[in-house]
Amino acid sequence: MGKILVTGGSGFIGSNFILYARSQEMAEIINLDKLTYASNPKSLEQLKNDTGYIFQQGDIGNSTLVLSLLRQHQPQYVVNFAAESHVDRSIFSPQEFIQTNVVGTFQLLEAVRAFYQELLPDQKENFRFLHISTDEVYGSLQAGEPAFSENTPYAPNSPYAASKASSDHLVRAYHHTYGLPTLTINCSNNYGPRQFPEKLIPLMIFNAINQKPLPIYGSGENIRDWLYVEDHCRAISLVLLKGKVGDTYNIGGGNQPTNLELVTQICTILDEVLPRSNFSYQSLITFVKDRPGHDYRYCVNFSKIKQTLGWEPTETLDSGLRKTIRWYLDNLEWLRQCKSQNYDDWVVKNYGDTMGKGESH
């Protein structure tokens, strides 16, 4: 493969994708990342002597910077991970979500369009822009409703989901109007190493290690479709190489526990691998105020990518959770680096005094 310009590569999925791509010697990577609170410099530390990896701090909304990077490095692919990604934060402060996810994606597309126009015909033939989006654009399912397919109408419910839906529409429009060779992935909840501990799974592991409450919104009956991040990275490279230009691909993990079942499973694994003599982690489970507009259920039908590109998830929820928990226990320093004033302020803002100020373990 030629070079890939990755945006948002210092966040959770982006860093896993870059490490996956470099370990497979798939392509040289240029990573453009603004380095918001959600990024962690330690995630890509192991690439510091890798000559096939280049980092540039910057904003996807800076089209001058993006165009100059494109002209300088001449990548064959652009993979756009950059986004504000946390639903709860979008409820408190939607502005940043509109700025990066909508305006930023627009500016990025403008730069890519200008670059694409300068390419020779055979370069144009091979160029791809892959946009990483979410299943949340489809809204919420009731019990028994069929899983989201690529044809499910968009019905986003949170400012985050609405901003991602807008970005998907822009990507679609740039394909139809300007002939930009785009691809879009709509993916379910990822989990695995290097995820910021504001999202459910790493938050529960982080709090459990610190013997703090495990806050479950509402009754814990909401359902997500959990996908191990490395399975997603494999899907991304397949779609990039073999996806049909202009198409969208739904990706899911085939695991749909309730939140309470999931957190209980994490506690059971922790009881096994990090036992405490005086209590079980389950005793830390605490029910807290529900998320406003909380989507009840997500479930993704991934039969299109399975049938056309031969992809399916390889990790079960149990094997994926065990790998994830092991990674966090082996990388306590990484977790420590996520802690900041911003993190403490966020915890107080979102959870009130349920959890108190997050302490370092």
User: What distances in angstroms separate CA 201 from CA 227, 246, 338, 346, one per listed residue?
Assistant: 12, 33, 15, 17
Q: Provide, for the chain, the percentages of residues in helix, strand and coil under a 3-state DSSP scheme, each rounded to the nearest 5.
A: 50, 15, 35
Q: Which of 77, 160, 249, 328 is catalytic?
A: 160
Q: Are 90 and 163 in contact (CB under 8 A)?
A: yes
132, two tokens: 């990483």
User: Which range in 11-19, 114-122, 145-153, 265-273 contacts ligand NAD by CB under 6 A?
Assistant: 11-19
In the DSSP assignment, the letter for residue 148 is B
Q: What is the crossing angle of helices 259-273 and 200-209, to 10°?
A: 40
* Shortest separation between residue 122's beta carbon and ligand DAU, angstroms: 36
The CA distance from 23 to 3, in Å, is: 15
35 lines the binding site for ligand NAD (CB under 6 A): yes
Site for ligand NAD in 59-118 (CB under 6 A): 59-61, 81-83, 85, 100, 104
**Which residues here bind ligand DAU, judged by CB under 6 A?**
85-87, 134-136, 188-189, 199-200, 203, 215-217, 222, 224, 259, 291, 298
Half-sphere exposure of 297 (CA within 13 A, CB side): 15
The CA distance from 315 to 132, in Å, is: 21
Using CB under 6 A, which of 4, 6, 7, 197 touches ligand NAD? 7
Site for ligand NAD in 183-202 (CB under 6 A): 187, 189-190, 196
240 lines the binding site for ligand NAD (CB under 6 A): no
Note if 330 is an active site residue: no
User: What distances in angstroms separate CA 176 from CA 22, 182, 287, 355, one per listed residue?
Assistant: 32, 9, 47, 48
* Shortest separation between residue 189's beta carbon and ligand DAU, angstroms: 4
CA–CA–CA angle 281, 256, 216 (5° rounding)? 40
The CA distance from 49 to 1, in Å, is: 21
Note if 230 is an active site residue: no
Q: Which is nearer to ligand DAU, 249 or 298 (CB)?
A: 298
In the complex, residue closest to ligand NAD by CB: 11
342, two tokens: 């911003």
Q: Are 291 and 88 in contact (CB under 8 A)?
A: yes
17 lines the binding site for ligand NAD (CB under 6 A): no
Q: Which is nearer to ligand DAU, 63 or 259 (CB)?
A: 259
Q: Which is nearer to ligand NAD, 28 or 198 (CB)?
A: 198
Note if 351 is an active site residue: no
Q: Which of 59, 88, 135, 315 is catalytic?
A: 135
In the DSSP assignment, the letter for residue 219 is T
Q: Which is nearer to ligand NAD, 60 or 305 (CB)?
A: 60
* Shortest separation between residue 125's beta carbon and ligand NAD, angstroms: 27
Contact partner, 259, from ligand DAU, ligand NAD, none, Cβ < 5-8 Å per class: ligand DAU
Instruction: Give residues in contact with ligand NAD (CB under 6 A).
Output: 7-8, 10-14, 32-36, 38-39, 59-61, 81-83, 85, 100, 104, 132, 134, 164, 187, 189-190, 196
Q: What residues act catalytically?
A: 135-136, 160
